[in-house]
Chains A and B, each alone.
Chain A
Amino acid sequence: MFSNLASRLADTFKRLRGMGKLTEADVDRALREVRLSLLEADVNFHVVRDFIKKVRERAVGQEVMASLTPGQQVVKIVYEELTRLMGSTKSGLNLSGNPPAVIMLVGLQGSGKTTTAAKLGLHLRKSGRSVMLAACDTYRPAAQDQLARVGEKAGIPTYGVGVAKDPVAIAREAVVEARRLGKDTLIVDTAGRLHVDEVLMDELSRMKQAVNPKEVLLVCDAMTGQDAVNLAQAFSEQLGIDGVILTKLDGDARGGAALSLRAVTGRPVKYVGVGEKLEALEPFHPDRMAGRILGMGDVLTLIERAEETFNAEQARKMEQKLRKQQFTLEDFLEQLKHIKRMGPLDQILGMIPGFSGNRALSKVDVDPKELIRIEAIINSMTRQERENPAIINGSRRKRIAAGSGTRVQDVNKLLRQYSEITKMMKQLSSVEKNLKRGKFPFM
């Protein structure tokens, strides 16, 4: 498998960092790597070309040559251009006006419209809106049942289940029904269709005319390749879209589509789908995404998630321990429990700066069962051992392994990971300081 974009770029810039002054050839060598990384990440060929051109123009100019730290300067330019390419500020939904505000979800087959309808519904319901879903996918077998069922899980009613008539008519009736029930938001789930299917594209146009949506959102799979640009262009030209929802971003797809879509359509990515649970929909932050791609980590999202899970008191205690570097295995166990509540471990780890570039750590198994095993191992230690892991010798290791039903190797592995993590904690606190000074964490 390819190493991901973040670590590739980190590698490139590590090489660049070591140099005192940048020649044109140095910049070109680095940018060639950036180009290949972006292509591997499925950023559109033409978007990459423009991007590289822009960065090069800025990088080999006075700006860099005059700078004392040229490497840092190039990273800054790449980061800035990347953020700009994805749209500089985060953009939400516009649902003002006469209720119900209608949101239409459109896209190819299998991009995740039905699941996203329920996720978005839940998200809006939690923010105080009263939501209804409209099941206008009359083509795919059982699609309406699927929507009704995920809707039910989200606590949202669905209109149109079992209705076999024209999808445009269902949508129109759903608006009337939503108004009658006093709903202020209606999310219309439509059938997946190819952007070259004229009949179905025309159906969407008619539906748009009939229900006058506040937002038409294109749902796009993050794994989409070069074709992302074609479909986004077709949907935005033939139908007109107001934004994009990028789904399945919890995999290892590098999400080059996110970079291309905005550049080609001029429309922002508004939300990203990051998991199978209905809560796994997040607002899209272009700056954070750029930072993540560049290996700077998604510190802000991490902090937000942590804030939802930890209370302030716990956080303060933990911070003190970290500062004094008294982080014991007991705390480690405590943290594991919190982390489990924060979401899938692989996602959390991806947000930590320097993590995607750290070879040893990127091999850490993120199997949730592993957490249970780790818990068992720590629970089999004496209090003394947890406070001071250094005392755990060979015979203690044997006893712990037997007590937790694991092997000595597992105990060793855990102790190694613990020492890696304490090392990383130290890094993290220096990252924090650097961020305050406006430095990039991997410089």
Chain B
Amino acid sequence: MAQNYFSRLLEGLSRTREAISGVFIGRQVLDASFLLDLEEALILSDVGHETTEVLINKLKQRARPGMNLKALVREEIAGLLNQQPWRIELPPDALAVILVVGVNGTGKTTSAGKMAHLFRVEGRKPLLAAADTFRAAAGEQLEIWAKRAGVDCVRHREGADPAAVVFDAISAARHRGADLVIADTAGRLHTKTNLMEELRKIRRVVEREVPGAPNETLLVLDATTGQNGLAQAEVFQQMLNITGIVLTKMDGTAKGGVVLAIAHKMGLPVKLVGVGEKLEDLLYFDPHAFAESLVQ
């Protein structure tokens, strides 16, 4: 599994690695043109100019003649990503709830389906809640993922109250002996106040029904997203107290560098990464492997 994880993550990140590690070929001197190239590579990876500046300043402070600059950058990147708990910890013997939230089109439904598979393989009994009652056929889509993952799915008709769906899913989980409810919610831009309120209502219902829940509130972030990812994370954090990020679509050329900015500014960890379209293409995020694969 470990081998498998690494190779798949590497595959997904290969483009980023090429972009960033291209900078290091034949260089061991920290001169102005080296720094300009590094800046370009980091910005082209969506790290953002502010976090790029922070990384470069740290590099300037620490670099000494004869040092391995690659290893140094890698260490700094891992350091940024590693400053927080990045594991998903669920109570072993009690009902747990995971809320899946995010803007439109980031891959929430797909991630929820893959998550059900991931946790089922780990020995839990998940149940999917189709709380996206807004997008046409979102419920059907989640139901198909539920079948693939071999778990139950609770859904109402289109336009129903999403909080009611989650409520029903929690009671269904209790009746059927499931110990994990994964709630897929409708995509919403973080700037729409009323839709964000709707999410808070879902959260309140979960808090009331299951003590200590939601155990995780995960923001699904598309790796192609640029600096707006930071605004998304900030608003969702403020409204819902999210616990981590699911970084999706890491199998393209997108670099996902904005998670560095998010980690730097908010200390918010990436917990899972989506690296393909198959059921098993959702992996635990490993900051060291990520840094390692960014700068080989």
Q: With the chains together, A65 CA to B104 CA distance in Å?
A: 48
Selecting from A138-146, A284-292, A331-339, A383-391, the interface stretch reads: A138-146
Tell yes or no: B194 within 8 A of A by CB.
Answer: yes
Supply 13 further A-B pairs (C-beta < 8 A) apart from A2-B231, A194-B253.
Answer: A2-B230, A39-B49, A40-B48, A42-B226, A146-B137, A194-B252, A221-B224, A223-B103, A223-B232, A224-B226, A225-B46, A226-B44, A346-B191
54-111 of chain A: CB within 8 A of chain B: 108-111
Inter-chain contacts of A276 with B (CB < 8 A): 104, 134
Q: With the chains together, A429 CA to B34 CA distance in Å?
A: 53
Interface of B, helix, strand, loop or mixed by DSSP? loop
In the complex the two chains form, is A41's CB within 8 Å of B227's CB?
yes
Contact code string A191-203 (vs B, CB < 8 Å = 1, else 0) = 0001110000000
Q: How far is the CB of B129 from chain A (nearest CB, A)?
A: 17
Tell yes or no: A30 within 8 A of B by CB.
Answer: no
Q: How far is the CB of B44 from chain A (nearest CB, A)?
A: 5
Inter-chain contacts of B255 with A (CB < 8 A): 225-227
23 chain-A/chain-B pairs, Cβ below 8 angstroms: A1-B230, A1-B231, A45-B44, A141-B145, A142-B140, A142-B143, A145-B137, A145-B140, A196-B253, A223-B222, A225-B46, A225-B224, A225-B254, A225-B258, A226-B45, A227-B224, A227-B254, A234-B253, A248-B189, A253-B226, A254-B227, A365-B193, A366-B193
Inter-chain contacts of B141 with A (CB < 8 A): 140-143, 146
In the complex the two chains form, is A250's CB within 8 Å of B136's CB?
no
Tell yes or no: A183 within 8 A of B by CB.
Answer: no
- Tally A residues with Cβ within 8 Å of B: 52
Inter-chain contacts of A143 with B (CB < 8 A): 137, 141
Inter-chain contacts of B40 with A (CB < 8 A): 45
Q: How far is the CB of B269 from chain A (nearest CB, A)?
A: 20
Inter-chain contacts of A146 with B (CB < 8 A): 135-138, 141
Q: With the chains together, A196 CA to B46 CA distance in Å?
A: 19
Contact code string B26-67 (vs A, CB < 8 Å = 1, else 0) = 000000000000001001111011000000000000000000
Interface of A, helix, strand, loop or mixed by DSSP? loop
In the complex the two chains form, is B49's CB within 8 Å of A36's CB?
yes
Tell yes or no: B177 within 8 A of A by CB.
Answer: no
Also in contact, A45 and B43, with CB within 8 A (given A108-B249, A248-B104):
yes
Tell yes or no: B144 within 8 A of A by CB.
Answer: yes
- Tally B residues with Cβ within 8 Å of A: 51
In the complex the two chains form, is A109's CB within 8 Å of B105's CB?
yes
Q: With the chains together, A353 CA to B190 CA distance in Å?
A: 24
In the complex the two chains form, is B144's CB within 8 Å of A142's CB?
yes
Also in contact, A230 and B137, with CB within 8 A (given A223-B226, A225-B226, A250-B191):
no
In the complex the two chains form, is B46's CB within 8 Å of A227's CB?
yes
Interface centre among B137, B232, B257, by most A CB within 10 Å?
A: B137
Q: How far is the CB of B45 from chain A (nearest CB, A)?
A: 7
Tell yes or no: B106 within 8 A of A by CB.
Answer: yes
Q: With the chains together, A141 CA to B232 CA distance in Å?
A: 27
Q: With the chains together, A150 CA to B46 CA distance in Å?
A: 34
Tell yes or no: B225 within 8 A of A by CB.
Answer: yes
Also in contact, A227 and B228, with CB within 8 A (given A110-B105, A141-B140):
no
Tell yes or no: B234 within 8 A of A by CB.
Answer: yes
Q: With the chains together, A225 CA to B15 CA distance in Å?
A: 15
* Nearest-neighbor residue (CB-CB) of A257 within chain B: B226
In the complex the two chains form, is B227's CB within 8 Å of A252's CB?
no
Q: How far is the CB of B76 from chain A (nearest CB, A)?
A: 20
Also in contact, A251 and B189, with CB within 8 A (given A150-B136, A226-B46):
yes
In the complex the two chains form, is A252's CB within 8 Å of B105's CB?
no
In the complex the two chains form, is B234's CB within 8 Å of A230's CB?
no
* Nearest-neighbor residue (CB-CB) of B48 within chain A: A40
Inter-chain contacts of A230 with B (CB < 8 A): 253
Contact code string B148-169 (vs A, CB < 8 Å = 1, else 0) = 0000000000100000000000
Q: With the chains together, A251 CA to B229 CA distance in Å?
A: 12
Q: With the chains together, A313 CA to B106 CA distance in Å?
A: 46
Inter-chain contacts of B286 with A (CB < 8 A): none
Inter-chain contacts of B49 with A (CB < 8 A): 36, 39-40
Inter-chain contacts of B192 with A (CB < 8 A): 344
Tell yes or no: A50 within 8 A of B by CB.
Answer: no
Tell yes or no: B216 within 8 A of A by CB.
Answer: no
Interface centre among A36, A39, A228, by most B CB within 10 Å?
A: A39
Q: How far is the CB of B50 from chain A (nearest CB, A)?
A: 8
Q: With the chains together, A365 CA to B144 CA distance in Å?
A: 40
Q: How far is the CB of B233 from chain A (nearest CB, A)?
A: 10
Inter-chain contacts of A36 with B (CB < 8 A): 49
Q: How far is the CB of B250 from chain A (nearest CB, A)?
A: 10
In the complex the two chains form, is A194's CB within 8 Å of B43's CB?
no
In the complex the two chains form, is B253's CB within 8 Å of A195's CB?
yes
188-244 of chain B: CB within 8 A of chain A: 189-194, 222, 224-232, 234-235
* Nearest-neighbor residue (CB-CB) of A44 within chain B: B44
Inter-chain contacts of A363 with B (CB < 8 A): none
Contact code string A115-149 (vs B, CB < 8 Å = 1, else 0) = 00000000000000000000000011111011001
